[in-house]
Amino acid sequence: MRLQTADTGFHGFLLASALRDTDDAASLTAHGTLYKALGRMTERGLLIAEWEDPAIAADAGRPRRRLYRVTADGAVALAAARAEESAPALRAARAARGLA
């Protein structure tokens, strides 16, 4: 599931829905943890947060959503975290092939 497009950000409920089937789902979505994490990432400049247009929410008959967008620094941090996460698996695969 792609959370963010070039035109739109994502909101916490959409992210929680995407995380629902992951191993960390319970720890990330329990007791407001997800929104606290989004707030910390915003404070650190990894995300930009803004309220959606009130007219959009009114037309949909719901409260306004806080929308998040990944910043350039956030994209770099995400790429680094993914590389770090995959590094042990790559080392193990190379070792299994005798390439380490």
Instruction: Please identify which residue in the block is written with the tokens 């803004």.
Output: 50
Domain ranges of the chain: 10-71
The chain-wide mean pLDDT, for the chain, equals 80
Give the C-alpha separation, 22 to 3, whole Å: 15
This prediction's pTM: 0.68
The pair of structure tokens assigned to 15 is 């992210």
User: Per-residue pLDDT tens for 28-40?
Assistant: 656 578 888 899 9
Give the C-alpha separation, 84 to 81, whole Å: 5
Give the pLDDT of residue 1. Answer: 47
Compute φ and ψ for 55, nearest 5 degrees: -65, -35
Comparing CA positions, the residue from 100, 79, 80 lying closest to residue 89 is 100
